[in-house]
Chain A
Amino acid sequence: MAGAGDETVFTGDSRTVTAALKALRASYRVVTERPLDVRRTWLDSADLRLHRAGLALAATSVAGSPDVLELGPVDGGAALAVPDRPDTDRPDTDGRPRLLADLPEPLKEPLGPVLDVRALLPFVELTTSVVTGALLDDEGKTVVRLAHERPDRLRLIPVRGYAKDAARAARTVRAAGLLPDDRSTYRVALAAAGLDPDAVTEPAMRADLPAGVAVARVLLGFLDELEAALEGTIADVDTEFLHDLRVAVRRSRSAVKLLADALPPALVAWAGPQLKWLGDLTTPVRDLDVHLLGLPEAAARLRGGRPEDLQPLADHLAAIRAKERRALVRGLRSARFERFRVRWRAELEALAAVEDEDAGPRAAEVGLAHLARAHRRVVRPGSRITPESPATDLHDLRKRGKELRYLLEIFSPLLEGDGARRGVKELKGLQDVLGRFQDGEVQAEAVVAMAEAMLAAGTAPAVTLLAMGEIAAGLHDHQLAARQEFAERFERFARAGGPPR
């Protein structure tokens, strides 16, 4: 069916479109259908994973026709169109697919690696009144299809084997004053909604700002991220809303702790415990999410047991998660949280608005000093770690590494060049090893605790306990492997050098 050539879109004002249609009528018999409203809702994850991968997924509905899901490049081109079967059991999504499992089979393969565990949400919508039609030759045969997207876009769609007519029609509408418009419908919808997902935002951190102002701006950015993740967390749209919310809290907490000297002491004394409360509130559900998300892979790795042996564990985790989520939602809807949010924003906005040129040291000066100190606090204890060192030494080092990582993120606009990039890359590598080491231990302990709880409750058949034993053993192996990688990883990090002085 290929070979019909690309369709061409022209634009102009509505009068020019009318003139172009009149000009086409001079050469062809033009037939048109009655106008139809075409509603397109583009779906994407909250962090726009599809857009960033260059993909646009539109749920298209036209009265009287079955809904279609169209996946194509953001800038137009060949799209994969698959009939959608709206799920009326999901009124909150307007019946549209939300998670990867809800998608029709042909879309799972191209979207799986991109979407992963994130949910699809309506991102931008466009309803267009479209008059479709055709240019007919003297046999009454359609030689070019057209779609007038009212008021001002005219789409010419070639028919295979009639390239000359398509070219002639294009020349005619250009001569009538229409101009080619190479924007995809997705781009048109974004422009109509005033959205620019590719816009580069000015970094909150600037070297010349007073340090207090710069830190307040950074913290306001974290608060924006926290608030953006709030509703999705409460509604449990996908697991990553909570993850994003926790990251925003953790970053805020670290910034308050590490950059306390740039903030008013009373604010630090108030915010620190509030942020800790918020972090603790979110931990149980996230820990359970990590276990649940890892279960399919753990099940696939079982050597003695069968994947279905782990179903009682999945049920157990889901039941605890439901209970813990109720507590989480209560906390996020509490007066305490609301008070924190309102006061935190007000205090930060007041700090960020300080215009006093003499308001303390500059961000660059404070930032570089903190970075140098944080770097030393990783290198010194790290170089003392030997294969015999206790696990707690590695856990402590991971905490120091996290602090350095957060500072690097906060002050990244101050750091340029390959050296800084290499340093960040090596730190990530080191943190990955330390993370696997600690997570292996913590998760293995959690699996044992779960096994004990399930045994006590009488919900764990022997095969499940044996399979959980395999998982715990696997986590232990994972931890050992990470420990063996540590020395080399640390060496690479230390060699990369510290931040500029």
Chain B
Amino acid sequence: MKVVASYTIKGGVGKTSTAVNLAHLAAADGLRTLVWDLDPQGGATYLFRVRPRVKGGGAALVEGRRPLADAVKGTDFDRLDLVPADFSYRTLDLDLDAAKHSHDRLRRLLAPLEREYDLVVLDCPPGVTLLSENVVRGSDVLLVPLVPALLSLRTLDQLTGFVAGLPKPRPRVVAFLSMVDRRKKAHRDLAASLPAERDDVVPVVVPSLAVVEQMAVERAPVTVFAPRSAASTAYRALWDVVRTELNLA
């Protein structure tokens, strides 16, 4: 079972869209896939039309009072399941802090699902917290959407510095440009130059398009309702990169 996390320190950069679309593409490729929506805002949960509720809340999961498997909900798509968000996740840091093995608790919670899933996709809230450390330590790949702004590079550096400071094994950081507006020269320039200049930025550009916003209306991955759109093509290219990084056939 491989774990990929859609994660950045900064919010509003397309993490949830990335997690949801990649998970759908992975499942469509035949992988048994689980999305865990760790963000109390529950964006991924909403997009999959699941009620954002986990019996006993995040504390019950973290403390082991309730196995993670019990919280799993089937989505409308074959081979794709979801652990929904719960508003109680806003205190997940505190719950983790109170638990044993607080720094790699998340990985331990996922371990019993090893035989059930080929891939777990974590949709994470922004920030640098104890939950972030759990996410980083529990993942094989950190998928980092970057909006095309110089400030984003600073955030990426902060993130890579944070990862480098953690004990091994560390995940591979895979950053890509997200929400790129082709009409803006600065966006076009950064989209062209960044992958050439940095090893941790791959040459995949997810455009800023209305069809991505449309996900909230359709309540489905863009790869489902607009499979031929430029956004779907970009997510497919990103999935190809991730699949290769994870050595998934």
Contact = CB atoms under 8 A, between A and B. Distances in A.
Interface of A: 1-4, 134, 139-142, 159-162
Given A141-B49, A160-B81, A4 B74 contact: yes
A1 B79 contact: yes
Which residue of A2, A142, A160, A161 has the most chain B CB atoms within 10 A of its CB atom? Answer: A161
Interface of B: 32, 48-51, 69, 71-76, 79, 81, 116-117, 219
Which residue of A1, A140, A141 has the most chain B CB atoms within 10 A of its CB atom? Answer: A1
A142 B78 CA distance: 12
Q: Is the interface of B mostly helix, strand, loop or mixed?
A: loop
Contact of B72 (A3, A134, A140, A142): A3
B76 A134 contact: yes
A56 to B, nearest CB: 22
Nearest to B51: A139
Contact of A141 (B50, B71, B79): B50
A159 B219 contact: no
A160 B73 contact: yes
A448 B219 CA distance: 75
A161 B73 contact: yes
A159 B116 contact: no
Nearest to A2: B116
Q: Is the interface of A mostly helix, strand, loop or mixed?
A: loop
B50 A1 contact: no
A142 B79 contact: no
Q: Give the 4 A-B residue pairs with the shortest CB-CB distance, closest first.
A: A161-B73, A141-B49, A160-B74, A159-B74
A3 B34 CA distance: 14
A4 B116 CA distance: 12
A161 B75 CA distance: 9
Nearest to A161: B73
B137 to A, nearest CB: 25
Contacts of A1: 32, 79, 81, 116-117
B219 A160 contact: no
Contacts of B48: 141
Given A3-B69, A141-B76, 11 more contacts: A1-B32, A1-B117, A3-B72, A134-B76, A139-B49, A139-B51, A159-B73, A159-B74, A161-B71, A161-B73, A161-B81
Nearest to A143: B74
Given A1-B32, A1-B81, A1-B116, A162 B74 contact: yes
Contacts of A161: 71-74, 81
25 contacts: A1-B32, A1-B79, A1-B116, A2-B116, A3-B69, A3-B72, A4-B74, A134-B76, A139-B49, A139-B51, A140-B219, A141-B48, A141-B49, A141-B50, A142-B74, A142-B75, A159-B73, A160-B72, A160-B81, A161-B72, A161-B73, A161-B74, A161-B81, A162-B73, A162-B74
Nearest to A157: B74
A455 to B, nearest CB: 48
A162 B51 CA distance: 11
A150 B148 CA distance: 55
Contacts of A4: 74
B81 to A, nearest CB: 6
A141 B69 CA distance: 20
B72 A139 contact: no
A3 B117 CA distance: 12
Given A2-B116, A3-B69, A140 B49 contact: yes
B215 to A, nearest CB: 14
B128 to A, nearest CB: 32
A159 B71 CA distance: 13
Contacts of A139: 49-51
Contacts of B116: 1-2
A162 B72 CA distance: 10
Contacts of A142: 74-76
A161 B79 CA distance: 14
A378 B48 CA distance: 77
B176 to A, nearest CB: 28
A4 B72 CA distance: 10
A141 B116 CA distance: 23
A194 B32 CA distance: 39
Contacts of A159: 73-74
B108 to A, nearest CB: 20
Nearest to A139: B49
A141 B117 CA distance: 22
B51 to A, nearest CB: 7
Contacts of B71: 161
A144 to B, nearest CB: 10
Nearest to A141: B49
Contacts of A160: 72-74, 81
A139 B53 CA distance: 13
A162 B219 CA distance: 19
A483 B219 CA distance: 77
A210 to B, nearest CB: 64
A67 to B, nearest CB: 15
A314 B69 CA distance: 54
A159 B76 CA distance: 9
Which residue of A139, A140, A141 has the most chain B CB atoms within 10 A of its CB atom? Answer: A141
A191 B71 CA distance: 41
B122 to A, nearest CB: 18
Contacts of B74: 4, 142, 159-162
Contacts of A134: 76
A139 B73 CA distance: 14
Nearest to B79: A1
A347 B116 CA distance: 64
A162 B74 CA distance: 8
A160 B74 CA distance: 5
B196 to A, nearest CB: 39
Contacts of B219: 140
A142 B75 CA distance: 7
Contacts of A162: 73-74
